[in-house]
Chain A
Amino acid sequence: GAGVSQTPSNKVTEKGKYVELRCDPISGHTALYWYRQSLGQGPEFLIYFQGTGAADDSGLPNDRFFAVRPEGSVSTLKIQRTERGDSAMYLCASKLTTGTGELFFGEGSRLTVL
């Protein structure tokens, strides 16, 4: 498709389980970003990739969170030993390259940890 695609759109899991969230950016976009949005809050930066490498992962809350982008296109956000506090909407965005261009966001993956 033409836009940023995120799967699954909804994920319900139990505390302690492992979760993967996938992002397929717009074709040709080299920069990819993950944000987390809790209810009533604005999106919070987690990590961004330029190509295959994580250029800034300063927003990842702890070492249970990890993201990869092995071929410079699709990215996966991985959460180990999920906790109830991880429940949120996880947003992916991409843009043509780093710099002042606009971000194109996907519709998000809503994660609920029971």
Chain B
Amino acid sequence: AQSVAQPEDQVNVAEGNPLTVKCTYSVSGNPYLFWYVQYPNRGLQFLLKYITGDNLVKGSYGFEAEFNKSQTSFHLKKPSALVSDSALYFCAVSRPFGNEKLTFGTGTRLTIIP
């Protein structure tokens, strides 16, 4: 079985400060890891993914995430938060080799305070 934990339901960050949204995972074998963002009244949007290779992955809107195999984590980061980053963020995992089923975490609501 595969699972994702997002330990924080809510994260508040002041505008301009660095932000981190945490994610840990459990999966057999090497994981495929994803971050998606959900803005109000909008569909989920892809931010970035880790498949293989460099542990630091860069994605859309200045976001990046670091794959840490020993800690089974894939935290989302951004050096300087914008008010427009306020949204609901989901981490997701799947197993490789043809398994198409994505398992999502419960989401973290990120609020950037002006």
Roughly how many angstroms separate A58 CA and B102 CA in the complex, as a whole number? 12
Write out, one digit per residue, whether chain A residues 3-30 have a CB within 8 A of any chain B CB (1) or not (0): 1100000000000000000000000000
Roughly how many angstroms separate A91 CA and B101 CA in the complex, as a whole number? 14
- In the complex, are the beta carbons of A105 and B43 less than 8 A apart? yes
**B74 close to A (CB within 8 Å):** no
> What bracket does the count of chain B residues touching chain A fall in?
20 to 34
- In the complex, are the beta carbons of B44 and A43 less than 8 A apart? yes
Closest to A55 in B: B100
Select the stretch in B14-22, B65-73, B76-84, B104-112 that faces chain A.
B104-112
Judged by DSSP, the binding face of A is loop
Expressed in whole angstroms, the minimum distance between the Cβ of A57 and any Cβ of chain B is 11
| Residues of chain B lying within 8 A (CB to CB) of residue A48 | 100-101
**B114 close to A (CB within 8 Å):** no
| Residues of chain B lying within 8 A (CB to CB) of residue A44 | 104
Roughly how many angstroms separate A42 CA and B108 CA in the complex, as a whole number? 10
* Other 13 A-B pairs with CB < 8 A, given A42-B107, A91-B44: A3-B43, A4-B43, A40-B107, A41-B107, A48-B101, A56-B100, A91-B43, A98-B98, A103-B36, A103-B46, A103-B102, A104-B46, A108-B43
- Listed in ascending order, the chain A residues whose CB lies under 8 Å from chain B are 3-4, 31, 33, 35, 40-45, 48, 55-56, 58-59, 91, 93, 98, 100, 102-108
Please name the 6 residue pairs, one residue from A and one from B, whose CB atoms are nearest each other, closest first. A42-B104, A102-B46, A105-B43, A105-B44, A107-B43, A45-B101
* Pairs across A and B, CB under 8 Å, 18 listed: A33-B100, A40-B107, A41-B106, A41-B107, A42-B90, A42-B104, A43-B44, A45-B103, A48-B101, A55-B100, A93-B44, A100-B49, A102-B34, A105-B36, A105-B43, A106-B43, A107-B42, A107-B43
